[in-house]
C-alpha cells in the first residue's frame, strides 16, 4: 500500500488515498472521488455546482464555492426538498455526481453524457439508488447526474421576476459547471449530450428554447415541452397559501416568501403537500414550469408552441414507450371506465373546440365505455399527452434546421420493466429506464434476454453521444438494423423490442387525426390563457 501511495503522489494529475479514488484538480479546487466496487471507474459524488441562497431559497442560486482544501466527493448528496411518503431532502442540494473511467489519460477528452432525472417537477434524484451508473459506464464516457430544485422551491409561477423556473435555471447552472470543469475529469466540454426522462425530457426540450445552448446533442425520453399539462397557471397563490398555513397574515407575496425562509424545508414541504399545491394529478398545479417575463436569466418567455427551438446543427434522439399514460389509470375499476369521458384528459381550452364523439369514433367506434375498452382509452391518453406531442416536436425540429433527429418506440417487456411487468397493457412510462440504469428495486443479476436489451440500449445511447448517430457502423450482430433519421416527409422510427426493427409512420391513423385537429384549431391552442 505504501508503494501505491508513493506512485500515486508521483503523478502530477492525481493523488490517491486508501479506499478512495483520485484527486482531480478543477478550476474550483481539488476534488477526491471514490472507486466504484462494481466497475472500473471512479465516482465523484455530491460535487457542488451551485449554492441555494439561504436568504432567498426560492430565487437564483449562487455560483459554486472554491475549495481551499480537498473536497471529499465520496458519498451521494442529499436530494432537494420533496415529499416521498413524508418530507425529505435539504435546501443545500445543488450537487452532481461525475463518473469517470479509471483508464483515462491526462489528455483524454471523452464524450460527456449529462442526465436530468424526472419526477413530475415536484421531486427528483440523481443519486445511485435510482440511477446506478454501472450499465452505461462500460462504454468509455464521462457520465454526470444532478439533483435540482423542484416543487415550491424550484417551480413557483409568480408575476414577479426572479422566482420562476428555478429548477430549469439550476439545470443551466449545472451545464455551465460542466463547460468549465468537465475537462478536469477527462470529459470533452464540446461534446456534451444531455439526456433525460419524463420531466427531465420536458426540461431538455424547454432548454432548447432558451437563449444559450450549452450542449451539442440531446436524448429526449417520454416527454416534450408540448405535453399539454406541464405548465402551471401563473398565480401568486402558492407561497401565500403555504405561509398562511404556517401563521403568516395577509396576501403579500414578497412578505410570504420572506416569512417562509425562516422555516426549515421539511415544514414547507409538509404544508405544500397537505394543501395539494404541487399535486401531480391536478389540471392546473401551482408549481410547474411557466411563462416568465423577459430578463437575462429567463428560460421561457412564451409558450413553447410560439417559440422556435434552437436546434440548428444539433443531433437529437427522441421517443417514448408504447402506452405511456397507463400509470395514471386504475387497472380494474369498472365504474371508472363505464363513466369515462374522452375529453376528461384534455385541458379546458381543448374541450371547448373538440367534439368528444369524433374522439370516441376514432378510438372505440360504437362501443360503450367500459373496462373492456381500457386499452383503447390508454391509447387515447398516451397519444394526446405523449405520442402526438412528440410527433409535432419532430416536425418542429426539422423546420428549425436540426442536423439529425432519430425517433424510437420502446416496446420490450422484461423483468426490468419497473412499471408494466405485472400488466398486459404494454410498456408504460419509465419502463425503458431499467435497461440504462441500475435501480435498487430491480433484479441485481439480469436474465439473458434483459442483459441483451441492456447491451442494445446502452450501445445505442453511448454511440449517439460519441458520434451523433446511434448506429454509426450500420447493422451489427447486436444491433442488426441501421437507424435512419427523419428526413423531409419520411418518418422512420426504431422499434426497440426483440427483435429490433426499423418501422415507419408510428400510429399513423391516430396521428393523422390529431394532425388535422391541430391544423383546424391552431389559432386556439397557441398557449394556455392564464
Q: Are 163 and 257 in contact (CB under 8 A)?
A: yes
Give the pLDDT score at 346: 54
- Tell me the sheet residues that pair with 501: 495
Kind plus residue range of the DSSP H or E element containing 395: helix 388-399
Among 18, 15, 21, residue whose Cα is nearest residue 99: 21
Among 396, 401, 211, residue whose Cα is nearest residue 318: 396
Distance CA 203, CA 208 (A): 9
What is the reported pTM? 0.92
Helices (H) and strands (E) counted in the chain, each on its own, are 14, 16
Among 287, 247, 277, 249, residue whose Cα is nearest residue 263: 247
Give the pLDDT score at 494: 98
Kind plus residue range of the DSSP H or E element containing 83: strand 82-83
Distance CA 128, CA 393 (A): 31
Residue recorded with cell 441485481: 444
Q: What is the grid cell recorded at 523?
A: 389559432
Q: Are 485 and 217 in contact (CB under 8 A)?
A: no
Give the pLDDT score at 522: 66
Q: How many CB atoms lie within 10 A of CB 424?
A: 8
- Would you give per-residue pLDDT tens digits along the chain (530 residues)? 333 333 343 333 334 444 577 899 999 999 999 999 888 999 999 999 999 999 999 999 999 999 999 999 999 999 999 999 999 999 999 999 999 999 887 678 999 999 999 999 999 999 999 999 999 999 999 999 999 999 999 999 898 888 999 999 999 999 999 999 999 999 999 999 999 999 999 999 999 998 778 999 999 999 999 988 788 776 788 999 999 999 999 999 999 999 999 999 999 999 999 998 876 444 457 889 999 888 778 888 888 989 999 999 999 999 999 999 998 898 888 999 999 988 655 544 554 556 678 889 999 998 999 999 999 999 999 999 999 999 999 999 999 999 999 999 999 999 999 888 777 889 999 999 999 999 988 888 999 999 999 999 999 999 999 999 999 998 999 999 999 999 988 999 999 999 999 999 999 999 999 998 888 876 666 554 33
Give the pLDDT score at 1: 32
Distance CA 260, CA 270 (A): 13
Distance CA 340, CA 336 (A): 6
Contacts of residue 195, defined as CB under 8 A and 6 or more positions apart, other chains included, come to 113, 114, 115, 116, 204, 218, 219, 220, 221, 461
Contacts of residue 510, defined as CB under 8 A and 6 or more positions apart, other chains included, come to 362, 363, 379, 383, 387, 388
Distance CA 404, CA 218 (A): 11
Amino acid at each position: 500500500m505504501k508503494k501505491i501511495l508513493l506512485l500515486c503522489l508521483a503523478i502530477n494529475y492525481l493523488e490517491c488515498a486508501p479506499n478512495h479514488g483520485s484527486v482531480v484538480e478543477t478550476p474550483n479546487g481539488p476534488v477526491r472521488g471514490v472507486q466504484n466496487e462494481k466497475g472500473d471507474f471512479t465516482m465523484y459524488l455530491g460535487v457542488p455546482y451551485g449554492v441555494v441562497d439561504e436568504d432567498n431559497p426560492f430565487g437564483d442560486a449562487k455560483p459554486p464555492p472554491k475549495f481551499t482544501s480537498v473536497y471529499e466527493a465520496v458519498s451521494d448528496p442529499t436530494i432537494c426538498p420533496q415529499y416521498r411518503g413524508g418530507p425529505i431532502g435539504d435546501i443545500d442540494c445543488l450537487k452532481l455526481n461525475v463518473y469517470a473511467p479509471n483508464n483515462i489519460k491526462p489528455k483524454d477528452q471523452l464524450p460527456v453524457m449529462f442526465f436530468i432525472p424526472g419526477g413530475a417537477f415536484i421531486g427528483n434524484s440523481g443519486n445511485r439508488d435510482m440511477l446506478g451508473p454501472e450499465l452505461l459506464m462500460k462504454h468509455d464516457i464521462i457520465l454526470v447526474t444532478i439533483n435540482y430544485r423542484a416543487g415550491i422551491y424550484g417551480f413557483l409561477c409568480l408575476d414577479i421576476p426572479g422566482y420562476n423556473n428555478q429548477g430549469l435555471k439550476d439545470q443551466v447552472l449545472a451545464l455551465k459547471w460542466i463547460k468549465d470543469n468537465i475537462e478536469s475529469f477527462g470529459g470533452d466540454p464540446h461534446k456534451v449530450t444531455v439526456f433525460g426522462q419524463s420531466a427531465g425530457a420536458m426540461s431538455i426540450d424547454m432548454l432548447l428554447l432558451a437563449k444559450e445552448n450549452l450542449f451539442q446533442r440531446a436524448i429526449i425520453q417520454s416527454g416534450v415541452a408540448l405535453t399539454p399539462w406541464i405548465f402551471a397557471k401563473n398565480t401568486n397563490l402558492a407561497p401565500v397559501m403555504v405561509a398562511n398555513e404556517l401563521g403568516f397574515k395577509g396576501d403579500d407575496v414578497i412578505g410570504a416568501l420572506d416569512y417562509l425562509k425562516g422555516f426549515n424545508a421539511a415544514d414547507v414541504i409538509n404544508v405544500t403537500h397537505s394543501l395539494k399545491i404541487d399535486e401531480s394529478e391536478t389540471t392546473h398545479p401551482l408549481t410547474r414550469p411557466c411563462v416568465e417575463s423577459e430578463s437575462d436569466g429567463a428560460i421561457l418567455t412564451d409558450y413553447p408552441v410560439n417559440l422556435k427551438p434552437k436546434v440548428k446543427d444539433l443531433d437529437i434522439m427522441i421517443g417514448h414507450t408504447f402506452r405511456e399514460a397507463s400509470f395514471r389509470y386504475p387497472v380494474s375499476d369498472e365504474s371508472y371506465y363505464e363513466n369515462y369521458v374522452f375529453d376528461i384528459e384534455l385541458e379546458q381550452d381543448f374541450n371547448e373546440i373538440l367534439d368528444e364523439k369524433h374522439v370516441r369514433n376514432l378510438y372505440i367506434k360504437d362501443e360503450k365505455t367500459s373496462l373492456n375498452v381500457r386499452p383503447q382509452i390508454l391509447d387515447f391518453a398516451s397519444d394526446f399527452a405523449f405520442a402526438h406531442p412528440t410527433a409535432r416536436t419532430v416536425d418542429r425540429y426539422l423546420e428549425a434546421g436540426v442536423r439529425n433527429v432519430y425517433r424510437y418506440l420502446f416496446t420490450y417487456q422484461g423483468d426490468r420493466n419497473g412499471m408494466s411487468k405485472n400488466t398486459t397493457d404494454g410498456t408504460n412510462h419509465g419502463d425503458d429506464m431499467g435497461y440504462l440504469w441500475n435501480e435498487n428495486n430491480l433484479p441485481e443479476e439480469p436474465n439473458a434476454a434483459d442483459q441483451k436489451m441492456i447491451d442494445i440500449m446502452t450501445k445505442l445511447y453511448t454511440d449517439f453521444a460519441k458520434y451523433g448517430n446511434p448506429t454509426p457502423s450500420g447493422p451489427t450482430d447486436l444491433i442488426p438494423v441501421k437507424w435512419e433519421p427523419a428526413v423531409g416527409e419520411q418518418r422512420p422510427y426504431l422499434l426497440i423490442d426483440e427483435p429490433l426493427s426499423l418501422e415507419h409512420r408510428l400510429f399513423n391513423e391516430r396521428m393523422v387525426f390529431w394532425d388535422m385537429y391541430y391544423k383546424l384549431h391552431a389559432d386556439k391552442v397557441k398557449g394556455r390563457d392564464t
